[in-house]
Structure 1
Amino acid sequence: MIDVYEATGYERYLHEAVSLAERLLEDFEDRDHGGFFTTAADHEALIIRGREGADGATPSGNAVAASALARLSFHHDREDFRKAATNAIRAYGQQIGQVPRGFPKSLMVVDLLLRGPVELALVGSPTNKGYSQLRTVVNACFVPYRILAYRQELEAETPHPLLTGKTLVNGQAALYVCKNFACQAPITDPQEAIEVLTYPQGTITSPEPPVQALTSQGLSGHATPQGTGQYVARILASPQDSRPSSHGYTSLGSTGLTTSRIGFGGYRINLGVEDHRRALEKSLQGG
């Protein structure tokens, strides 16, 4: 429902998402330990009321619930939603620390809660100059953890806190780019919108992360950004044979960032399928 609202701008979908979130808390939340059960409170009696935190082939129900609550908490500035999302992650904090690769969806929620989203407010309707172009830009630019709110009926009041006080600019549609409800000057030029949305985290500052409860100290002997950078630097500096990037890593220009080459999970490859076989051969030959 959140995605449908952000794709269409129809507020009824966001209202329905809030109703479902409130029902989720009422029927599935573990109020004693945080997180969510897999059965509702009014379900028939079971020997044990199950719950799951680790991801499998699909993200865990706990992580998906936490993600939805976190996103809605920023849409409507709902501290109860934010607290429930935080508690859902903290409920599996020890396991996440021990086996982080088993909790990728939960780690995405942690990142959202700690960094906070980039908040986009698009004001205007298709009849306003520049609206279609701005909407195309918003849909085309990948902004991690963004939330997007629309104000299309300018005469009507809106309950969305991000839209409070947002208006057209000289009769033109406008895009407001915000962080923690503190916004830059409205943008009416699509090219300027592209430039701002390309590096939104670098152009918008926030005085503090929206959630402090998840902040923790690094564990001795565990990976750090500095240690990982030094490790990759040693790999990139190591001798290579005649094959390109035979060590499996490549640098991204002058950014200082690196990426590993494509990897294949054996259970996903069917050598009887020509495209699979050729892709695997190319990967092995190219390092």
Structure 2
Amino acid sequence: MPNWLQFEKSPYLLQHRENPVDWRPWGEEAFQAARQADKPVFLSIGYSTCHWCHVMAHESFEDQTVAEAINQDFIPIKVDREERPDVDAVYMAACTAMTGSGGWPLTVLLTPEQNPFWAGTYLPKRQLLSLLSQAAQLWREDKESLVAAGAELTAHLKRTEEASGGVPDRGLVRQAVSLYAQSFDARWGGFGRAPKFPTPHNLIFLLRYAQRTGDRHAREMAEQTLEAMYRGGLFDHVGGGFARYSTDKKWLAPHFEKMLYDNALLALAYTEVYQETRRPLYAEIVRRTLDYVLRELTDPQGGFYCGQDADSEGVEGKYYVFTPDELKDLLEPRDADIFCRWYGVTPSGNFEGKTILNLIAQEQIDQEPERMKCLREKVYAYRLGRTQLHRDDKVLTAWNGLMIAAMAHAGLALDEPRYLDAAMRAVDFIKRKLTDNSGRLLARWREEQAAHPGKLDDYAFYSWGLLKLYDATFQTQYLAEARRLTVRMYEQFFDEKNGGFYPYASEGEQLITRTKETYDGAMPSGNSVAALVLSRLARLTGESRWRTAADLQLAYLAGAVQEYPAGYGFAMLAFLEELWPSAELVCASQEVPAELTAFLREASRPAMTVLVKTPETAKALGQLVPFTESYPIPEKGVRYYLCQNGACAQPVDSIAQVKAMLEKI
């Protein structure tokens, strides 16, 4: 008989609706039930494409003995971490404080007041039963000690040292680069030991730092890592797109789940390295990544889905691996031989007797054999029919913001209108489906139902995506929406006294802590992305409110990053834009000049903001950026107004003259 989760929309929660565990969704009703029954809460947090979440579900949550133990002595609650990142962050911090590490599935025991007194990750069935028995006995015999322990841990989390603020300086940025160099794997790329995560925002920072300073090693670290990730099995050589992380140092064996946010950030990184190197391979990787997203992770109405599972038919990686015999049955003998040699498919395999396709052993990967594209398409079509992948088809505002940024940047840099169209469709989707009647963002949409008030990441990531889309199209509606949402973000989440953004609004549901998060994980922190949004709005609009807010936010981050700046790669991006020379360009013309588009396409120019004033955009731009009203639009030709570091030059009428002036920065 289905439990309480049968009424939810989250694919993760729905995966557990038939469990014999009497799961409830997170909410006051569940905690009221715990108080009335005088039982602790068994909280389980995961997500639908998580391999070890599936393992624990099959071993324990589908088991009648475990279910009886949970139901008898606990009120069980299931949380989708992707829908409720705020809940996940609070209890992941508790797990880290207790154990020194975290991960998913996250298992936490709480008092009915939501205070955690035990936390851990995956537990085999026997260990879980032992934990349940001990915790239930303790609750019956010495509940006061557990309540006290929960209250003490909650107090500790609330006391977590608040950054006192600091002064952004180039030394912090250089220190971050030095720390990356110390942990860099000079043979295989990446940083630290296995498992290796892509963390593409760190790579974007290294590329931009090299661009600004000429530091060749910073660029080499980024480029070697980007090439190595593509060579290995982290990249899906048949269907495109990247898996979540590599379990080994060579990037060969991934944890096979694919997430929207990874592919968005990696597409941005490969676009940047393409613009820096003009190496066609990097442009091809961007296309194969974004085409995968358009093909498999895009809702017909325009939003982007969350991701795809690592497992097929209960087996991790089954969807992705091949044997030589299987390929020989599918392809002509000569084609099968070419395909197997190119992608390293052998009888012994490299993953449980089968082969993860890879290019690690190939000396030259820039020119693949003829017909390879055609062969990949044939293998892809075969793979689709061989087995199926679960797809998490909810749409998250925050993650869509990242993909909008990626599609916009790639659409401009690669001259691919389909990516710009996808970005614009996603914006329209969020406006229609994930914005409430008062203009506030909602966090999740699925099956025509939106839910959960937008959090910091929703506002920050989406606003950044909108600014990137304005940079690519110069349509003022995107700049206006970014500004409107940044006002909302500031009003709901910003600490005007000390700087820093809280993760959720003060007038919404209150959790046991409201700690500002600054450290980057697989995704950049909302605080760092918000800093970049404020900085760029200040430079684009000239509004003093954004300059004041940006300065306070950057000072807050400068205090937060002091001990380990390499853990704050996206904040370093914001520091780069603020601490190195910058430029603001206003273009006045009857239309967006082709020479300007070509100029922006040829290289990444994060140090420069660009506004374009045409007869079509003049009125809206004047309302958003009042100083542009004084720039006349010539009847013929174009006028460029360039300001650098607070000083404005005489207007010029060609992009060549602008380039000459920029070279002097």
TM category, shorter: 0.5 to 0.7
Match of 1:239 in 2: none
Shift of 1:125: 2.8
1:93 aligns with 2:558: yes
2:637 is aligned with 1:172: yes
Specify the alignment match of 1:25 in structure 2.
Answer: 490
1:146 pairs with one of 580, 599, 608 = 608
Q: 2:574 matched to which residue of 1?
A: 109
Q: 1:145 to 1:194 in 2, by over 3 A?
A: closer
2: CA distance, partners of 1:82 / 1:75 = 11
In the TM superposition, 1:26-41 aligns within 5 A as 26-41=491-506
Aligned 8 A contact 1:74 1:117 in 2? no
The CA deviation string for residues 27-63 of structure 1, in whole angstroms up to 9 with x for no partner, is 1112342101111222212111132111122211000
Identity across the alignment (%): 27
* Aligned-residue offset at 1:140: 2.4
- Which of 588, 591, 594 matches 1:132? 594
1:164-243 aligned at under 5 Å gives the runs 164-168=629-633, 171-179=636-644, 182-197=647-662, 199=663, 202-203=664-665
Please tell me the root mean square deviation across aligned C-alpha atoms, in Å. 2.5
Measure how far apart 1:172 and its partner are: 0.9
Count how many residue pairs are aligned between Structure 1 and Structure 2.
Answer: 197
**Contact in 1 for aligned 2:531/2:553 (Cα 8 Å):** yes
Give the secondary-structure state (helix, strand or coil) at the position aligned to 2:598.
helix
**1:95–1:69 CA distance, 2 compared to 1 (3 A):** closer
Match of 2:196 in 1: none
Higher helix content, 1 or 2: 2
**Alpha-carbon offset, residue 112 of structure 1:** 2.3
> Which AA in structure 2 matches 1:113?
E
Cα drift, residue 155 of structure 1: 9.4
Distance 1:115 1:78, change over 3 A: farther
Residues 1:24 and 1:32: Cα distance change in structure 2 (over 3 Å): same
Q: Deviations over 1:53-98 (max 9, x none)?
A: 1112221100001110111011112222222222223224334222
Q: Distance in 2 between matches of 1:92 and 1:178?
A: 27
Q: Structure 1: 5+ residue runs without aligned partners?
A: 204-287
Residue by residue, what CA displacement relative to the aligned partner does 1:188-211 show, whole Å, maximum 9, x if unpaired? Answer: 2343344344x2xx34xxxxxxxx
Distance 1:141 1:155 in 2: 25
| Amino acid aligned to 2:636 | G
Identify if the C-alpha distance between structure 1 residues 140 and 177 changes in structure 2 by more than 3 Å, giving closer, same or farther: farther
Calculate the TM-score normalised by the size of structure 1. 0.61
2:576 maps to amino acid: D
Report what 1:60 is aligned to: 525
Contact between 1:35 and 1:84, CA under 8 Å: does it hold in 2?
no
CA contact (8 A) 1:70 1:113 kept: yes
Distance in 1 of aligned mates of 2:578 and 2:557: 16
Instruction: Tell me if structure 2 keeps the 8 A contact 1:122–1:149.
Output: yes
Which residue does 2:218 correspond to in 1? Answer: none
Larger radius of gyration: 2
Q: Distance in 1 between matches of 2:481 and 2:498?
A: 27
Q: CA deviation at 1:154?
A: 7.4
Distance (whole Å) between structure 2 residues aligned to residue 150 and residue 42 of structure 1: 39
Question: SS where residue 147 of structure 1 aligns?
Answer: strand
Secondary structure of the structure 2 residue equivalent to 1:98? coil
**Residue 511 of structure 2: aligned partner:** 46
Question: How far 1:141 moved relative to its partner?
Answer: 3.8
**Deviations 1:86-128, CA, capped at 9 Å, x for gaps:** 22232243342221111122122223233463101111133x9
**CA distance in 2: counterparts of 1:170 and 1:5, whole angstroms:** 24
The CA distance in 2 between the partners of 1:6 and 1:182, in whole Å, is 22
